[in-house]
Amino acid sequence: MTAAEALALLERQGATLAVAESLTGGLVAAEVTAVPGASRTFRGSVTAYATDVKRDVLGVDGALLAARGAVDPQVAAEMAEGVRRLLGATWGLATTGVAGPDPQDGKDVGTVHVAVAGPSGTSVGSPRLTGDRAAIRAATVTAVLELLMEAVRGGRKADRVNARAQDTERHGGI
């Protein structure tokens, strides 16, 4: 899945896109804006690296962040919903996770949650990624763009899915 394919599909539908990023630190936005004509579809992005930015700018529930930390499927969902609302986009994407080199808040390196929020709801994916920091961040960009395409094409039930069950489904078991 490429950003160009995603943007072309969104443009055909007259839809727009906004992105909220944590572990990818702007890589999703960079991938999207590298596509000529991205401005016809892309509204903008928020790099919410700090937890308080997730809460204060994107509207992620502070109690959720306090209880579970920033690396959580529900946090990803609320980030996607928040950036969609904040930037007035049809679709919102979000990334959060641990790219390494060390675990964070009790979460292992490679723990990643991506989300897409759209007109019919929000979907979350939790791929288990391996590799070094750069590889995990690059794979996260691919994962969130794939999740977007599934949602836009209607191939994924647009609701809050259980992240562990989805990961098991994608990878054939725990």
pLDDT along the chain (174 residues), means of 10: 92 97 98 98 98 98 97 98 98 98 94 97 97 98 97 66 36 34
pLDDT at res. 105:
87
pLDDT at res. 1:
60
Neighbours of 12 (CB within 10 A): 10
Whole-prediction pTM value?
0.89
pLDDT at res. 96:
98
Torsion angle (degrees, nearest 10) of CA 14, 140, 170, 159: -40
Distance CA 96, CA 75 (A): 8
